[in-house]
């Protein structure tokens, strides 16, 4: 599956003075607040982090509240779907007009009937709704099936994906895996090319993300005062 | 179904009139056309569609059929609905109130809402808001809620709303995180009692429902916040002014001076146990109190159901957080803390112990603000005294912790008596004495208690806690301590009944934390019914100096006792009858005889 990447990030977390005895806890808390949200600086949704505090010393901000900046190196697992990437997900609902998929257990995707290739026909079999391929009888998509689909667009705020089943290399993953041999060679090569392109894309992102870290003083990463007050009170 | 219904339908879509038989998919395509033609400037069919959704008043069967059909067709065309282009349509959908419709329309509407939420991330928020707004009926419906028909409608609506929420959460896994803030923001603080109660019912239903795992913390915190909100609306002054103006305490107090004192200090209530009759008089008029009472009762019911389903410990952790953050920090919370009390009563081994530990931990934590630490110890003292479900060893253990802390304090920080700068110490001492007033006998039965507890050096210390703490507590404590031979050298303590209370005022600070007894009898009528079986009233306490009277009741002693107790408490008149009526076991520490109430008959 595409859309996942690991980035090395160097970060500075500004810790409230009241948390000076529990720095690592405060840092983890701050990083956890990034989880499952799209972050423009990382250009992706943070799914997991592995963090190392770089220096025992921290720079103190001269201000009313002497926050101190703890510099970190973190490995971040990011989910950053882009149009034309291939994603995988589980079908949770299927109607005549749409297929609803959940990717990685948290991001919802929808494929409307216009984006389902004509090869698939909507049927009701034994009361169960499904899409079956006209050309390959065993290629069936129903609730519970893992499918591979193409990203049309990604709503970063709500982590909502609009997908498509038009390309020939999309559909039930199980069927695709078994029947790759049957698919004409041209198709396979496109798939492969697609994958390798994905790799280079990831490589590029590494560097981009690496550069993106000049935003240390971003207020988001600062321990917000408001939250601090909440914790104490 | 759509096709058949259309036969009788009013058929606002002119095309539909031409043919009696439309398949569902044809309808969907028709609606899709209507939606997409808006962008090209032709909005006739679209406007008709919007018009259909606007029918709310007195729907004829054919109107209902048309509405259902339109909604179903829309569900198939959700991907064509544009958030800007079809704003009027969306707002009419979201404005539809499920309470106004029959089950057919409800189902069709919810199907549409679910499809909308799943079709595009942009609709999720509005869909969830629409569902939450259906938690409560429209104002006009409130009176119907008491009738069977109204209750049936309530069930119909709410079961559907909740299943829709679950459905959306299945399709959009992050929906609960969007739902939580919506629910918190829409809490009906200022609404009428029935609406507030229904809303909270919904919150609790969500908490125990399929998506409870994700929303539990928000729901419980929200609930506690709401309780506190109402709690602080009811001032101590309101309660007390009401009472004293009616002269309710006159019978119980020894003389007029004390009544005057009472007015000034607003505090002698600590030992005053107000009867249920009194409760009705003093709080009955307050709508807020009634609302709070109903919500508390609802919460208690919910806690019971949590216990039955084995979730209480989990729920309790969230309640503890909430307690720590909101209740403890609220200025002299009066009622909300009984939620904790009841949860503890339901599971004394886990929750009950956990709560005591938390309070003691907060008290000893140096990094906590001083007033919260003093509140924590006041909560602890009141809890240990009033809860009849706590084991003697636990209480003894907690007391030992407080005594050890105080002893250490004397050694390290104690110099001379100074009520203001040693507030924390005096609050700890008062807590120890207060608990012992209630528990002296059972503590004496704990084998190691007497020998291991270094109370004497603390009380004899130069910090003179006996002079600073509340005189009424000190008096009672000294009497009991003497009778129980708690001290080796009892002659050192002179029971000076005219002890000053300026000192106690000083250590209590402007917050008067010296007078804070959070678990004094609950003044709310419905809530009290839940708390009562787990509660130790002062009248149930048998002080050690009462020991000799057991069996043979001496007239004089009784009289003396009466006099004394009347200072401390007003026993509810029907307290004994209550136990018997309800077939409850007598609570521990119940004295051999219950003193009849001194509450005047007129109350």
The pair of three-digit structure tokens given for residue B261, joined into one six-digit string? 């004192």
Residue A191 lies in a domain: no
Q: In this predicted model, what pLDDT tens digit does every residue of A100-136 receive, in sequence order?
A: 999 999 899 999 988 999 999 998 888 889 999 998 8
- Asked if the model's pLDDT at residue B178 lies above 70, the reply is yes
Least confident segment among B26-40, B458-472, B586-600: B586-600
Residues B272, B570 contacting (CB under 8 angstroms): yes
The pair of three-digit structure tokens given for residue B396, joined into one six-digit string? 């003894």
The pLDDT of B110-114, averaged and rounded, is 94
ipTM of the complex: 0.73
Q: Are residues A11 and A72 in the same domain?
A: yes
- Asked if the model's pLDDT at residue B113 lies above 70, the reply is yes
Residue A135 lies in a domain: yes
The pLDDT of B76-105, averaged and rounded, is 90
Q: Are residues A67 and A141 in the same domain?
A: no
Residue A198 lies in a domain: no
For residue B41, CA distances in Å to B34, B36, B44, B46, B82 come to 11, 9, 9, 11, 15
Q: Are residues A111 and A178 in the same domain?
A: yes
Return the closest-CA partner of residue A116 out of A98, A135, A91, A92: A98
The bridge status of strand A68-79 relative to strand A140-142 is unpaired
- Asked if the model's pLDDT at residue B548 lies above 80, the reply is no
Strand partners, A15: A68
Q: In this predicted model, what pLDDT tens digit does every residue of B358-387 receive, in sequence order?
A: 999 999 998 888 889 999 999 999 999 999
B492 falls in which pLDDT band (50, 70, 90)? low
B45 falls in which pLDDT band (50, 70, 90)? confident
Region at A127 (left for phi over 0; alpha for psi -120 to 50; beta for the rest)? left
Q: Are residues A49 and A123 in the same domain?
A: no
At A109, which CATH number?
2.40.50.140
Residue A195 lies in a domain: no
SS3 A200: helix
Report d(CA B299, CA A64) in Å as an integer: 43
Residue B201 neighbours by CB distance under 10 Å: 18
- Asked if the model's pLDDT at residue A141 lies above 90, the reply is yes
Closest-CA residue of chain B to A229: B325
- Choose between B2 and A211: higher pLDDT: B2
- Asked if the model's pLDDT at residue B501 lies above 70, the reply is no
Residue B84 neighbours by CB distance under 10 Å: 7
Return the closest-CA partner of residue A104 out of A132, A77, A83: A77
Cβ-Cβ contacts under 8 Å between A and B: the total is 64
- Asked if the model's pLDDT at residue B200 lies above 70, the reply is yes
Partners of residue B172 in chain A, C-beta under 8 Å:
108, 160
- Asked if the model's pLDDT at residue B92 lies above 70, the reply is yes
Residues B538, B360 contacting (CB under 8 angstroms): no
SS3 B140: helix
The pair of three-digit structure tokens given for residue B211, joined into one six-digit string? 């998506």
Report d(CA B45, CA B34) in Å as an integer: 5
Best residue in B118, B120, B325, B372 to probe A by mutation, most A CBs within 10 Å?
B118
Partners of residue B329 in chain A, C-beta under 8 Å:
233
Residue A188 lies in a domain: no
Q: In this predicted model, what pLDDT tens digit does every residue of B556-598 receive, in sequence order?
A: 333 333 334 333 433 333 333 333 334 333 333 333 233 333 3
Residue A215 lies in a domain: yes
pLDDT for A182: 54
The pair of three-digit structure tokens given for residue B534, joined into one six-digit string? 């787990």
CB contact under 8 A, A110 and B119: yes
CB contact under 8 A, B171 and A97: no
CB contact under 8 A, A92 and B171: yes
Buried b (16+ CB within 10 A) or exposed e, B321-343: ebbbbbbbbbebbbbbbbbbbbb
The pair of three-digit structure tokens given for residue B47, joined into one six-digit string? 């406007």
- Choose between B265 and B32: higher pLDDT: B32
Sequence-distant (6+) residues with CB within 8 A of B36 are: B80
Q: Are residues A131 and A96 in the same domain?
A: yes
Q: Are residues A91 and A163 in the same domain?
A: yes
SS3 B310: coil
Residue B42 neighbours by CB distance under 10 Å: 12
Residue A64 lies in a domain: yes
| C-beta contacts of B583-589 below 8 A and 24+ residues apart | B584/B533, B587/B388, B587/B533, B587/B534, B587/B535, B587/B536, B587/B540, B588/B388, B588/B442, B589/B388, B589/B441, B589/B442, B589/B536, B589/B540, B589/B541, B589/B542
B129 falls in which pLDDT band (50, 70, 90)? very high
Residues A116, A34 contacting (CB under 8 angstroms): no
Would you give the DSSP letter of residue B352? I
Task: Give the helix, strand, coil percentages of chain B, each rounded to 5.
Answer: 70, 0, 30
Least confident segment among B138-147, B151-160, B419-428, B584-593: B584-593
Residue A95 lies in a domain: yes
- Asked if the model's pLDDT at residue B500 lies above 80, the reply is no
Return the closest-CA partner of residue B218 out of B251, B185, B249, B244: B185
Partners of residue B79 in chain A, C-beta under 8 Å:
97-98, 110, 112, 114
- Asked if the model's pLDDT at residue A52 lies above 70, the reply is yes
Strand partners, A6: A77
For residue B432, CA distances in Å to A96, B324, B391, B443, B445 come to 71, 22, 17, 12, 17
Closest CB from A96, A155, A162 relative to B25: A96
Report d(CA B75, CA A96) in Å as an integer: 11
Averaged pLDDT of chain B: 77
At A220, which CATH number?
3.30.1490.120
CB contact under 8 A, B325 and A95: no
The range of the structural domain enclosing residue A160 comes to: 86-182
- Choose between B42 and A145: higher pLDDT: A145
Q: In this predicted model, what pLDDT tens digit does every residue of B273-314 receive, in sequence order?
A: 333 334 444 554 578 888 899 999 999 999 999 999 999 999
CB contact under 8 A, B124 and A159: no
Return the closest-CA partner of residue B448 out of B532, B392, B405: B392
Q: How many domains does chain A fold into?
A: 2
pLDDT for B203: 94
Least confident segment among A104-108, B111-115, B488-492, B542-546: B488-492
Return the closest-CA partner of residue B117 out of B152, B90, B89: B90
Report d(CA B243, CA A5) in Å as an integer: 69
Closest CB from B170, B173, B369 relative to A106: B173
Q: Are residues A95 and A167 in the same domain?
A: yes
Residues B261, B505 contacting (CB under 8 angstroms): no
pLDDT for B547: 59
The pLDDT of B146-168, averaged and rounded, is 92
CB contact under 8 A, B121 and A159: yes
Q: Are residues A117 and A51 in the same domain?
A: no
Q: Are residues A11 and A25 in the same domain?
A: yes
The pair of three-digit structure tokens given for residue B463, joined into one six-digit string? 């910090």
Q: From chain B, which residues contact A within 8 Å (Cβ)?
A: 25, 28, 76-79, 115, 118-122, 124, 170-174, 177, 325, 329, 369
Q: Are residues A72 and A94 in the same domain?
A: no
Closest CB from B28, B76, B118 relative to A108: B118
SS3 B256: helix
């Amino acid at each position: 599956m595409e859309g996942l990447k690991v980035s090395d990030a160097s970060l500075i977390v500004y810790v409230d003075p009241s948390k000076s005895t529990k720095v690592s806890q405060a840092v983890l808390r701050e990083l956890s607040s990034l989880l499952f949200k799209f972050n423009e600086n990382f250009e992706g949704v943070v799914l997991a982090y592995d963090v190392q505090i770089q220096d025992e010393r921290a720079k103190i901000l001269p201000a009313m509240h002497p926050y101190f900046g703890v510099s970190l190196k973190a490995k971040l697992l990011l989910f950053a779907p882009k149009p034309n990437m291939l994603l995988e997900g589980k079908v949770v609902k299927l109607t005549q007009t749409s297929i609803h998929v959940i990717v990685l257990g948290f991001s919802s995707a929808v494929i409307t009937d216009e984006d389902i290739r004509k090869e698939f026909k909507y049927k009701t079999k034994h009361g169960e709704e499904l899409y079956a391929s006209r050309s390959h009888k065993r290629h069936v998509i129903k609730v519970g099936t893992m499918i591979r689909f193409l990203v049309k667009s990604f709503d970063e705020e709500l982590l909502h994906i609009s997908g498509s089943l038009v390309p020939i290399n999309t559909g039930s993953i199980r069927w695709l895996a078994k029947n790759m041999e049957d698919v004409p060679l041209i198709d396979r090569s496109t798939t492969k090319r697609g994958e390798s392109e994905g790799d280079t894309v990831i490589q590029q992102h590494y560097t981009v993300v690496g550069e993106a870290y000049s935003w240390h003083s971003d207020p988001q990463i600062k321990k917000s005062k408001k939250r601090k007050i909440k914790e104490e009170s | 179904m759509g096709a058949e219904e259309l036969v009788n339908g009013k058929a606002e879509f002119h095309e539909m009139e031409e043919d009696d038989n439309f398949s569902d998919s044809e309808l969907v395509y028709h609606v899709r056309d209507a939606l997409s033609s808006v962008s090209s400037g032709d909005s006739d069919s679209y406007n008709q569609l919007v018009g259909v959704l606007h029918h709310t008043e007195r729907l004829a069967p054919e109107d209902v059929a048309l509405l259902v059909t339109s909604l179903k067709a829309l569900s198939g065309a959700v991907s064509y609905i544009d958030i800007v282009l079809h704003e009027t349509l969306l707002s009419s959908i979201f404005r539809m109130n499920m309470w106004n419709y029959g089950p057919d329309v409800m189902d069709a509407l919810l199907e549409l809402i679910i499809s909308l939420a799943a079709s595009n991330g942009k609709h999720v928020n509005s869909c969830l808001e629409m569902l939450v707004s259906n938690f409560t009926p429209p104002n006009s419906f409130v009176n119907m809620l008491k009738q069977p028909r109204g209750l049936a409608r309530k069930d119909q609506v709410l079961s559907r709303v909740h299943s829709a929420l679950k459905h959306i959460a299945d399709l959009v896994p992050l929906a609960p995180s969007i739902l939580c803030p919506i629910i918190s923001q829409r809490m009906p603080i200022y609404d009428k009692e029935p609406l507030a109660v229904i809303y909270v019912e919904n919150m609790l239903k969500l908490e125990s429902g399929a998506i409870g795992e994700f929303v539990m913390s928000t729901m419980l915190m929200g609930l506690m916040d709401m309780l506190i909100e109402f709690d602080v609306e009811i001032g101590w002054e309101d309660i007390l002014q009401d009472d004293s103006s009616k002269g309710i305490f006159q019978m119980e107090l020894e003389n007029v001076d004390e009544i005057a004192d009472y007015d000034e200090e607003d505090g002698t209530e600590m030992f005053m146990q107000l009867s249920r009759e009194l409760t009705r008089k003093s709080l009955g008029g307050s709508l807020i109190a009634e609302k709070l009472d109903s919500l508390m009762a609802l919460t208690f019911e919910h806690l019971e159901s949590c216990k039955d389903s084995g979730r209480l410990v989990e729920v309790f952790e969230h309640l503890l957080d909430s307690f720590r953050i909101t209740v403890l920090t609220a200025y002299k919370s009066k009622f909300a803390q009984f939620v904790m009390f009841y949860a503890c009563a339901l599971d004394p081994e886990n929750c009950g112990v956990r709560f005591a530990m938390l309070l003691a931990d907060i008290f000893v934590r140096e990094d906590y603000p001083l007033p919260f630490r003093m509140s924590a110890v006041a909560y602890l003292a009141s809890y240990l005294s009033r809860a009849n479900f706590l084991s003697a060893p636990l209480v003894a253990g907690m007391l030992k912790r407080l005594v050890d802390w105080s002893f250490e304090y004397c050694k390290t920080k104690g110099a001379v008596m100074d009520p203001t700068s040693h507030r924390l110490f005096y609050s700890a001492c008062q807590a120890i004495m207060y608990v012992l007033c209630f528990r002296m006998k059972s503590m004496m039965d704990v084998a190691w208690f007497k020998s291991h507890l270094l109370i004497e050096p603390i009380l004899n210390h130069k910090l003179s806690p006996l002079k600073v703490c509340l005189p009424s507590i000190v008096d009672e404590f000294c009497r009991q301590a003497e009778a129980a031979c708690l001290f080796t050298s009892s002659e050192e303590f002179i029971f000076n009944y005219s002890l000053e209370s300026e000192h106690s005022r000083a250590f209590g600070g402007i917050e008067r934390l010296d007078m804070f007894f959070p678990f004094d009898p609950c003044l709310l009528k419905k809530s009290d019914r839940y708390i009562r079986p787990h509660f130790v009233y002062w009248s149930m306490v048998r002080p050690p100096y009462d020991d000799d009277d057991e069996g043979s009741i001496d007239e004089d002693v009784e009289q003396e006792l009466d006099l004394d107790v009347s200072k401390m408490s007003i026993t509810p008149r029907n307290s004994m009858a209550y136990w018997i009526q309800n077939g409850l076991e007598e609570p521990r520490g119940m004295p051999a005889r219950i003193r009849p109430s001194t509450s005047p008959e007129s109350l």
